[in-house]
């Protein structure tokens, strides 16, 4: 997912999403255009009182998968701002989904609540995003509170170097990160570039992963976030 510094070839604006081809529907499957999803999410956010301060979108090489991140004005937590992840696909690989997240102020690292999606609906012939997305926003506040409670928990959990090595290798084993990034994550954890992560906690280790994930494509980063959420008990 964006936020997440995407390669220029992966970046796309909301206006440009209208040019991404949507496959023809079948009797049992109706893909939702990426542009329609992004438009409805941003409009609903404004209607629900969320002050959107930035939005980013990315697609995979085929254009069949779209990922987006909206960032909102601070909600009383100066170290991070609330964010909302968007997923949509035209290849039946995953359902339309919204997932709550935060963006760490000092470094723009993203954390998402993984499988705790506010909406997760397959593209059946009866899908109606005009009803699903506004309904999902009614549940966002509760999801953000849960995620923020998890952040507070991670900050209290000390992690030694040996445990950090085990966790990082495990992350490679479950393909949250490629094995070539094991040392990169550990180096970031042991010598973080930001003073805020000097304390060796699970919060700092998580940010070592997401700092590394900034170089990933939207699709690869999305996989990383989902699997990290399970590993750090955020799902």
* Domain end point (choices 111, 139, 167): 139
- Residues 192, 82 share a domain: no
pTM for the full predicted model: 0.85
Q: What is the pLDDT of residue 93?
A: 77
Q: What is the pLDDT of residue 164?
A: 98
- Residues 91, 64 share a domain: yes
Residue 6 lies in a domain: no
Q: What is the pLDDT of residue 8?
A: 43
Residues with pLDDT less than 50, the chain:
1-9, 116, 118, 120, 123-127
Q: What is the pLDDT of residue 92?
A: 77
Residue 4 lies in a domain: no
Residue 147 lies in a domain: no
Residue 27 lies in a domain: yes
Residue 45 lies in a domain: yes
Residue 227 structural domain: 155-231
- Residues 134, 62 share a domain: yes
- What are the Cα distances from residue 168, in Å, to 40, 58, 180, 188, 212? 38, 27, 11, 12, 12
147-176 confidence digits (pLDDT tens) = 999 999 999 999 999 999 999 999 999 999
Number of domains in the chain: 2
- Residues 135, 165 share a domain: no
* Domain end point (choices 80, 111, 139): 139
- Residues 163, 116 share a domain: no
Q: What is the pLDDT of residue 127?
A: 45
Q: What is the pLDDT of residue 9?
A: 47
101-123 confidence digits (pLDDT tens) = 999 999 999 999 865 454 545 54
Q: What is the pLDDT of residue 215?
A: 93
């Amino acid at each position: 997912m964006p936020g997440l510094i995407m390669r220029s070839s992966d970046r796309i604006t909301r206006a440009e999403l209208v040019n991404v081809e949507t496959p023809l529907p079948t009797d049992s499957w109706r893909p939702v255009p990426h542009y329609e999803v992004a438009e409805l999410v941003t409009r609903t956010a404004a209607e629900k009182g969320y002050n959107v301060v930035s939005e980013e979108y990315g697609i995979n090489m085929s254009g069949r998968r779209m990922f987006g991140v909206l960032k909102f004005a601070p909600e009383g937590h100066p170290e991070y701002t609330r964010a909302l992840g968007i997923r949509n696909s035209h290849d039946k690989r995953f359902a339309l989904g919204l997932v709550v997240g935060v963006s760490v102020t000092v470094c723009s690292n993203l954390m998402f609540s993984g499988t705790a999606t506010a909406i997760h609906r397959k593209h059946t012939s009866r899908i109606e995003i005009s009803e699903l997305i506004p309904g999902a926003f009614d549940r966002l506040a509760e999801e953000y509170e849960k995620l923020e409670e998890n952040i507070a928990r991670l900050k209290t959990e000390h992690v030694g170097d040996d445990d950090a090595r085990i966790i990082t290798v495990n992350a490679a084993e479950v393909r949250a990160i490629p094995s070539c990034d094991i040392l990169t994550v550990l180096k970031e954890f042991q010598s973080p570039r930001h003073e805020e992560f000097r304390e060796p906690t699970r919060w700092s280790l998580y940010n070592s992963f997401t700092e590394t994930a900034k170089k990933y494509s939207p699709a690869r980063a999305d996989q990383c976030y989902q699997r990290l959420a399970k590993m750090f008990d955020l799902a």
